[in-house]
Amino acid sequence: MTIGHAEQLRDVIEELPGEKVLEVLDFAKFLRWQDLVEAREIIEFDAWAENLAKEKGFAYLTEEDVAQIVHEFRRER
């Protein structure tokens, strides 16, 4: 957040009644939580995918290898 954004937010909040300020705070906390959950889900998915690739014996494949395999498979249909 830039200083300009922080100042704008402060100016708006200063004009709100107390209960609305609490709503803004609650929403800001929700947005922060949402970002943390999303980041955690991405990390967990990456770990799951990597473990699956190791278990199935194709962890050595590159993204280009996978794209080529998919392309060839679709061509055979």
Closest CA to 40 of 28, 48, 51: 48
Tell me the H-state helices in the chain: 3-14, 18-56, 63-76
Handedness of CA 51, 57, 61, 63 (dihedral sign): negative
Greatest C-alpha distance within the chain: 65
Rounded to two decimals, the pTM is: 0.52
Q: 20-70, pLDDT tens digit by residue?
A: 999 999 999 999 999 999 999 999 998 998 899 899 888 899 889 989 999
Residue 2: pLDDT band with limits 50, 70, 90: confident
Judged against a pLDDT cut of 90, whether residue 76 lies above it is answered with: no
Q: Which residue's entry shows tokens 């705070």? A: 25
